[in-house]
Amino acid sequence: MPRRLRPTAEIAPAAILVGDPGRALLLAQELLEQPKMSNHARGLWGYFGRTRDGVSLTIQSTGMGGPSATLVLDDLAELGVRRAVRVGTCFGLDPSGSLGDLLLVREAIAVGASATSLGVTAGATLAPDPGLTEGLAAELGSDCQDAVVASLDTPPPTPSASATKAIAADMQTAPLLARAEALKIGLAALLIVSERDPDCYLEKADLEERERMAGGAASTVLSQAEVEG
């Protein structure tokens, strides 16, 4: 029996993972027909329903940081999840980038201990599921850009993160990729640049518009993967 999630509805084999419970609710209302809350334990709101294409989908919040996210992924794996897309936010490091940029993760660099505690060497890169990633690239086209991100444990980004080839930093992608590989879950990641410094952040309405775009693409690609088997 899972130790953190307490499912009150079905859990689908495909899931969208978000850090923020509010984002889980937003995407459930946007993407699912008659969504049902599937978890509220520990404030980790989760939802189950069917997409407009009739494919079952779970949308699950993972909390803040790598340790919380990987523990939630463990429970989801036990409940039958086999593929997932992370839809999250990140801190922009690229001087030429802009708030609201939608980044398709091609590599995640393990900077913080959340990833290295899972056996990943510090500074090593992890790759997402190629099929899901290429599906997202095709679905979004010019609305997203390929990215290398650094995953650390505490914001703002440390000098070691800024010194890498990463154009953005977050707190979950590398740990999730490491744990997904061990659990044999296909996982990809879409990140929204929501901050560039403490005084430069994306307004709520603009963030929600980007969340809907990223969530819609994730839902489409996961649904296609489910249909194709």
More confident residue, 113 or 16: 16
**What pTM, to 2 d.p., does this model score?**
0.95
List, for residues 24-41, the tens digit of each pLDDT value: 999 999 999 999 999 998
Enumerate the H helices of the chain as residue ranges: 21-31, 66-78, 113-116, 130-140, 159-162, 173-183, 204-228
**Angle (deg, nearest 10), helices 130-140 and 204-228:** 120
Mean pLDDT across the chain: 93
HSE-up (13 A, CA, CB side) for residue 28: 23
| Residue 113: band (very low, low, confident or very high) from pLDDT cuts 50, 70, 90 | confident
Q: Which helix (H) or strand (E) holds 151?
A: strand 145-151
Those residues whose C-beta lies under 8 Å from the C-beta of residue 42, and which sit 6 or more positions away, are: 4, 63
Percentage of the residues of the chain whose pLDDT score is greater than 70: 97
List, for residues 147-171, the tens digit of each pLDDT value: 999 999 887 776 666 667 899 999 9
Q: Which CATH superfamily is domain 14-228 in?
A: Nucleoside phosphorylase domain (3.40.50.1580)
Residue 3 has phi, psi (to 5 degrees) of: -95, -15
Say whether pLDDT at 49 is over 90.
yes
**Domain extents for the chain?**
14-228
CB 125 within 8 A of CB 148: yes
For residue 135, the model assigns a pLDDT of 97
Residue 35 has phi, psi (to 5 degrees) of: -65, 145
